[in-house]
Amino acid sequence: MFVARQKRVKSNPAGLSPCFRDRSQAHHRVVENLLQRVISSLEASDTREGKDRWNTFESSLRAHMEIEERVISTFAHVHHQDARALLREHYDIRTRVAEIEALLKLNMCRPRIVRDLLDSVRAHAAHEDRMLYPWMEENLSDADKALIIDQLPPEGTS
């Protein structure tokens, strides 16, 4: 679990915060791009490639959400309802991921279903960007932010 600062300190625009926010947003884009590649494979009727790309997407998404959930557990001490909403979105996304995975195994997954998931992932990312990330920048120590950055895959990883 991460420790929130006791005293609120404004982010230093020349310091770690922009890098932190940029890396977090960049990883959202990586996850979205991986999912878009799954859609492209399915549109091309290449289910084998779609499954391979799905596995990469699912692994990246899982790692991303696990990192966020450790932060959300700290966020919940101050913003209980907002944290519950974010965790509910994670639950809904995981449920849809499991459903799509089952359809992929049966070769019954259609691009539209994955596109719907992509829309949900994008909406969730925007929600986090409005609610969670500003709180993280204001309340987490530079050491905790650096730890989070270190856990995210490098930009362009896909």
Averaged pLDDT for residues 110-117? 97
Asked if 111 contacts 36 with a C-beta cutoff of 8 angstroms, the reply is: no
Q: Is residue 88 one of the residues assigned to a domain?
A: yes
Q: Tens digits of per-residue pLDDT, 41-50?
A: 999 999 999 9
pTM, entire model:
0.83
CA distance linking residue 80 with residue 89, whole number of Å: 14
Tokens of 120: 């949900």
Q: Is residue 2 one of the residues assigned to a domain?
A: no
Q: Tens digits of per-residue pLDDT, 67-109?
A: 899 999 999 999 999 999 999 999 999 999 999 999 999 999 9
Q: How many domains does the chain have?
A: 1
CA distance linking residue 89 with residue 21, whole number of Å: 20
| Residue 44, CA distances (Å) to 56, 75, 97, 145 in order | 18, 42, 21, 40
Question: Which residues, at least 6 apart from 131, have a Cβ–Cβ distance to it below 8 Å?
Answer: 79, 82, 86
CA distance linking residue 35 with residue 49, whole number of Å: 12
Q: Is residue 26 one of the residues assigned to a domain?
A: yes
Q: Is residue 135 one of the residues assigned to a domain?
A: yes
62: CATH: 1.20.120
